[in-house]
Structure formats: structure tokens, C-alpha cells
């Protein structure tokens, strides 16, 4: 199984007509990426909107790209997977989608590795693992059997690198389907080292560089190579779910609209879908980098929260849902009329599978949360997370809001 290391969401809720020098942070490790120009540009432009970063590169010898500055100080290596969603609007260019490279002058026979995902009539993955010699590069390539993409649609790419002595492999998946594999064997594992250049849309050396003309929606980097089943699941989730901009810094009103109006519209427009997954930053939830299961709301729903993270757009006076964790059930009810981010909720807990509930904790508002052992409940809709930590909670509820913590026991405040 893979582990998500870095996640850059390049979409933006509103349109930024001139996005040059915008800085975007990944939601997993807070690493920076910056939109930059190299050399002097005359006609190339860059904008940013709900689709992503629009690289409108039209200069012949200069252009705009995304510099993943935060990766410059990261030791990235071993078996990895790279996930991207982008639209290539000019298939006549030999465009680089993503490149991470260490190529320091004088470092012959030292760590000097690269990974390049590119389009050159065919979609390609170039990998040189380490130890450059005077004989030349030690690299393997893989490319699709035929041109599977066009210049009008977004495509979902996953590139995987897996080294195992005698059984190494690099693969390309496009829209969830394996399009190429090279099993000829890498010389060695991708070295876990610093690479001084990490770019989207062009190569390290600006001399004679070609710049991507298209739209980049996101980049995710994982530790370990994805198995085919994991690729299928990842693509299916992308294909069946909306992809929103990072709204962590938005107002409560913005977040409420995203969590309710936008989600309810999506579920209405897609009646066959009752749940899907997305990262918390797209809804402004408590754990921005975690993957949440988002459920369509029906009054009285019950949801198993014994693992993972969950969100449901609970709304409507006296409407409720129940989160189930074994015999511990958590009932969350909206007690006020619909009032956007000013809606009020109450929380009740049962330890006997819903037969009886403790005295309710009332007056919970948007942004507040309650922690009970390993379970955290968030309000503004209904959110749950299971940290998996030990402890039953012993009836203690920790309520957090705006930096203040209140501990309640059986509905009574004991510490504030």
C-alpha cells in the first residue's frame, strides 16, 4: 500500500487572472510551490481558477512553470508513485509534466538521479536511479503503445517506480488503465537524496527548454508503487467525485456553502452516487490532509465510523444522523433552523447500541469539535474521525472552539 507524502491542489475557488508568483502549499507537509517565469516573457500568461493553473505558454524561447520549491529540501527516493491530473493543450510540443532531478556539476559517480514524466508524441516515464558513469545514463523508458490523449480533456496519470533486484518495474497508467510497463530492471533503487530542481511544466536547464501549454489540476506523490488494484480505486474515486479548491483559509460561510450547497447539488446531479472520497481541505474539515468518506444525507442515517474519516452534510431543524463505533453510538442533531454557518447542533452518546443516550451536550456551533477517546466529532454538518488511539474516553468529552477547551462529564462542565 502507498502512503501519501505530498498533495498539491492547484485549483482556486475564484479566478486569478494573473497568477504569476502565486505560492501554493501542499496539504500533507506544507511544502511550497511557486508559479514562476524563466527568462523574459512577452506573450505567455498564467491564470488560476477552479480547473487549476492555466499555463498559457506561447513564447518560443521562454515560459512559465511551477517550481516545487519545498521538494528541494526533501530526501525523496525509493519506490514512489506520482499522480497528476492535467490537460495538455498542445500535443505538438515535447512537454515535461513533472521532473525531479539531481545533476550537480562534478558529481560523476555520485548520486545523480532523475525522474521525468513527459509527453513526446507518446506519454513517457524516464528514470535514472543513481551513479552516473562516463559510459552514459543508466535509465529505462516506458511509453504508451499509441496516442491515447487529446488536447481538450483532462487526463488522470499515475506513474509508478518499483525497484526489486531482478523484478523492478516502471509503469504508466492513464485514466486508471495500464498503458505501459518496463520490467527490464533498473540499475538500482531510486536514491533517497536531495534533488536541487523539482518542476512542473518544463525541464531543469532553461536553455532550449520547452514549456507545457495546458492546465495542471493537482500533483500527489506517494511512497511505494501502487498496485493495479490501488490505481483502479484511486482513479475511480477521482472519476466519481468532484474536485474542489483548497478552502482551509476560507470563512465559515464559504465552508458551509461548500459542505452543503455544493455537495447537495453534486449528489442531486449524480443520483446514483451516495458516497465518495475527498481530502479534508476541499471541505475545510478538521484534518485537511486526510481522505474523508463523504456521504449523502438522509435524516436518521447511521454510518460506521470504526475506521477512517467521515463527513455528512447534515442540515435541517431536528434532522439527525448517528455515527456508530461498535456499541458506542453518537447522535448529532441540528437544533436550530437552517442558518448557514450559524446553525446550532447537539450531541448525544449511547454506550449500549442506541438503547439509551446520556444527557445531550447542546449549543455546539460551526467549527467546534468533541473528542471522546479516539473519536472526534466536528460540527458544521457532521464530521467524524477515528485516530485509532487507545482509551475509551471514560465519559469525558473535550470540546474545542476558537482555541478554548472545555471538558464535560455527563453533560456537565468540569474544566474550562
- pLDDT at position 228: 95
Return the pLDDT at 411: 45
Q: pLDDT per residue over 111-123, tens digit each?
A: 567 899 999 888 9
pLDDT tens profile 254-311: 999 999 999 999 999 999 999 999 999 999 999 998 999 999 999 999 999 999 999 9
What burial letters (b/e) apply to 223-253, b meaning 16+ CB within 10 Å?
Answer: bbbbeeebbeebbeebeebbbbbbbbeeeee
What per-residue confidence (pLDDT) applies to 389? 58
Higher per-residue confidence, 183 vs 245: 245
Asked if the model's pLDDT at residue 347 lies above 80, the reply is yes
CA 88 – CA 85 distance, rounded (Å): 10
The tens digit of pLDDT for each residue in 328-343 reads: 999 999 999 999 999 9
Tell the burial category of 192 from Cβ atoms under 10 Å away from its Cβ (0-12, 13-18, 19+).
Answer: middle
237 has a pLDDT exceeding 70: yes
CB 399 within 8 A of CB 368: yes
Judge whether residue 386 has pLDDT over 70.
yes
Mean pLDDT of 181-189: 78
How buried is residue 284: exposed, middle or buried, by Cβ count under 10 Å (0-12/13-18/19+)?
Answer: buried
What is the average per-residue pLDDT within 194-214? 91
**Contact by Cβ (8 Å): 11, 279:** no
Instruction: Please tell me the predicted confidence (pLDDT) of residue 190.
Output: 83
Lowest mean pLDDT among 46-55, 320-329, 407-416: 407-416
Q: What CATH architecture applies to the domain 3-239?
A: Sandwich (2.60)
Write the DSSP assignment of 156-190 as a string of letters: EEEEEEE--TT--EEEEEETTEEEEEE-S--SSPP
Confidence bin at 395 (pLDDT 50/70/90): very low
User: What pLDDT shows up at residue 361?
Assistant: 93
pLDDT, mean over the chain: 87
Q: Is the model's pLDDT at 227 over the cut of 80?
A: yes
Stretch among 85-89, 140-144, 150-154, 307-311 having the lowest mean pLDDT: 140-144
pLDDT grade, residue 205 (50/70/90)? confident
pLDDT digits (tens, 9 = 90+) for 55-103: 999 987 779 999 999 999 999 989 999 999 999 999 999 999 999 988 7
What pLDDT shows up at residue 39?
82
CB atoms within 10 A of CB 360: 16
**400 falls in which pLDDT band (50, 70, 90)?**
low
pLDDT > 70: percent of the chain? 87
Report the pLDDT averaged over residues 169-188.
85
**335 within 8 A of 315, measured Cβ to Cβ:** no
Give me the pLDDT at residue 138, please: 45
Give the containing element (helix H, strand E) for 333.
strand 328-334
Residue 19 pLDDT exceeds 90 = yes
Cβ-based neighbours of 280, under 8 Å, separated by 6 or more: 27, 286, 287, 288, 289, 290, 291, 292, 309
Confidence of residue 145 (pLDDT cuts 50, 70, 90): low
pLDDT value at 416 more than 70? no
Sorted by where each begins, the domain ranges of the chain are: 3-239, 252-415
CB count, 10 Å around CB of 400? Answer: 16
Q: How does residue 230 score in pLDDT terms, banded at 50, 70 and 90?
A: very high
* pLDDT of residue 130 exceeding 70: no
Least confident of 112-126, 215-229, 373-387: 112-126
Q: Look up the pTM and report it.
A: 0.85
**Upper half-sphere CA count for residue 202 (Cβ side, 13 Å):** 23
Amino acid at each position: 500500500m502507498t502512503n501519501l507524502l505530498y498533495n498539491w491542489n492547484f485549483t482556486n475557488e475564484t479566478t486569478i487572472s494573473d497568477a504569476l508568483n502565486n505560492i501554493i502549499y501542499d496539504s500533507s507537509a506544507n511544502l511550497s510551490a511557486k508559479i514562476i517565469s524563466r527568462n523574459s516573457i512577452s506573450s505567455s500568461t498564467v491564470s488560476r481558477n477552479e480547473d487549476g493553473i492555466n499555463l498559457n505558454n506561447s513564447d518560443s524561447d521562454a515560459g512559465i512553470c511551477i517550481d516545487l520549491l519545498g521538494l528541494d529540501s526533501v530526501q525523496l527516493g525509493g519506490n514512489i508513485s506520482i499522480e497528476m491530473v492535467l490537460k495538455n493543450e498542445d500535443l505538438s510540443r515535447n512537454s515535461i509534466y513533472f521532473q525531479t532531478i539531481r545533476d550537480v556539476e562534478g558529481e560523476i559517480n555520485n548520486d545523480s538521479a532523475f525522474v521525468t514524466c513527459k509527453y513526446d508524441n507518446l506519454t513517457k516515464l524516464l528514470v535514472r536511479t543513481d551513479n552516473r558513469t562516463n559510459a552514459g545514463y543508466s535509465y529505462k523508458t516506458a511509453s504508451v503503445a499509441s496516442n491515447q490523449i487529446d488536447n481538450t480533456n483532462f487526463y488522470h496519470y499515475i506513474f509508478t517506480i518499483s525497484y526489486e533486484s531482478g523484478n523492478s518495474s516502471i509503469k504508466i497508467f492513464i485514466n486508471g488503465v495500464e498503458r505501459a510497463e518496463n520490467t527490464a530492471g533498473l540499475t538500482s533503487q531510486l536514491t533517497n537524496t536531495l534533488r536541487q530542481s523539482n518542476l512542473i511544466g518544463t525541464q531543469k536547464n532553461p536553455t532550449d527548454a520547452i514549456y507545457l501549454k495546458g492546465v495542471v489540476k493537482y500533483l500527489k506523490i506517494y511512497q511505494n508503487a501502487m498496485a493495479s488494484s490501488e490505481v483502479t480505486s484511486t482513479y475511480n474515486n477521482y472519476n466519481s467525485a468532484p474536485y474542489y479548491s483548497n478552502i482551509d483559509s476560507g470563512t465559515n460561510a464559504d465552508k458551509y456553502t461548500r459542505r452543503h450547497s455544493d455537495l447537495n447539488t453534486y449528489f442531486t446531479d449524480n443520483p446514483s452516487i451516495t458516497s465518495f472520497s475527498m481530502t479534508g481541505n476541499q471541505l475545510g474539515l478538521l484534518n485537511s490532509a486526510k481522505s474523508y468518506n463523504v456521504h449523502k444525507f438522509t435524516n436518521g442515517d447511521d454510518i460506521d465510523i470504526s475506521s477512517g474519516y467521515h463527513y455528512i452534510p447534515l442540515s435541517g431543524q431536528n434532522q439527525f444522523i448517528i455515527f456508530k463505533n461498535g456499541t458506542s453510538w453518537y447522535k448529532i442533531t441540528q437544533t436550530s433552523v437552517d442558518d448557514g454557518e450559524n446553525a446550532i447542533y447537539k450531541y448525544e452518546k449511547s454506550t449500549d447500541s442506541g438503547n439509551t443516550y446520556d444527557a445531550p451536550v447542546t449549543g455546539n456551533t460551526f467549527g467546534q469539535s468533541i473528542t471522546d477517546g479516539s473519536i472526534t466529532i466536528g460540527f458544521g454538518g457532521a464530521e467524524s474521525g477515528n485516530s485509532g488511539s487507545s482509551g475509551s474516553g471514560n465519559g469525558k468529552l473535550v470540546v474545542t472552539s476558537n482555541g478554548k477547551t472545555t471538558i464535560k462529564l455527563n453533560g456537565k462542565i468540569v474544566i474550562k
